Amino acid sequence: MIKLYSFGPAFGVLDPSPFVMKVDAWMRMSGIPFEHVSSVGNLRKAPKGKLPFIDDGGKVVADSHLIIDYLRQQYDSPLEQGLTVEQKAIAMMVGKSLDEHLYWCLVYSRWIRPDTWPRVKATFFNVVPLPLRAVVCWAAQKKVRRSLHLQGFGRHTDEEILVMTTEMLQALSDLLGEKRYMFGEQPSTLDSTAYGFLCEFILSDIDNAFSQHARKFNNLLQYCERIRDEYYPS
């Protein structure tokens, strides 16, 4: 059975990483059996220093995009059936926007905002011995802050990043409309990606301005709840 290496439950969702959730949702929607191997310590084993990665009978694949490409080649998945060339192009471009734009909005909202950072510290660093915890937390946040600055998001104000996040959510809401899934009645790879990111804002128990704005999009809220209820039975 495929092993999906992940962080494990946090913030009220199955995993705090949208990339883990993207792969998880893709395999569930495709009907591919797998199991989670969950631990923050998995980062030390990760081939590229990031999660997720999978082990499929000794074949190790890292990076959510490459994992899905590999699984698509190795297993029968219905997720691309019936899509037009135009829909596949839209899916690729929207997916990249989520991976490379909305992701950084999520990182900022958790790791930098003072109303959420204490929750992140308590979740990820409580296992660190007290004499070292403050230093480790400071170093971790500094690393994230530097990554945000180099990427460009760290140069914007809180309000500007919130506006960017809301614009991205509005675009997803407009694309979904009243449909069950992004392209109709059946899920596609784009739905696994969209759910992976949206659940981190909408279904997470983190409550800040970013999650509050996300939950105002009623069709996105219903979309997340629908996918959760169908593919993540309690």
- Asked whether the beta carbons of 169 and 223 are under 8 A apart, the reply is no
The predicted-structure confidence for 112-171, as pLDDT tens digits, reads as follows: 999 999 999 999 998 899 889 999 999 999 999 999 999 999 999 999 999 999 999 999
Instruction: Give CA–CA dist 118/163, Å, rounded.
Output: 23
The predicted-structure confidence for 175-217, as pLDDT tens digits, reads as follows: 999 999 999 999 999 999 999 999 999 999 999 999 999 999 9
What is the pTM assigned to this prediction?
A: 0.95
pLDDT at 233: 87
The predicted-structure confidence for 9-28, as pLDDT tens digits, reads as follows: 999 999 999 999 999 999 99
Q: Which of 228, 219, 211, 221 is nearest to 102 (CA)?
A: 211
Q: Which of 215, 15, 207, 7 is nearest to 119 (CA)?
A: 207
pLDDT score of 40 more than 90: no
Whether CATH 3.40.30.10 fits 1-77: yes
Instruction: Give CA–CA dist 54/57, Å, rounded.
Output: 9
- Asked whether the beta carbons of 22 and 63 are under 8 A apart, the reply is no
- Asked whether the beta carbons of 101 and 168 are under 8 A apart, the reply is yes
- Asked whether the beta carbons of 15 and 7 are under 8 A apart, the reply is yes
Pairing of strands 34-38, 59-62: unpaired
| CATH class, range 83-234 | mainly alpha
Give the residue extent of every domain in the chain. Answer: 1-77, 83-234
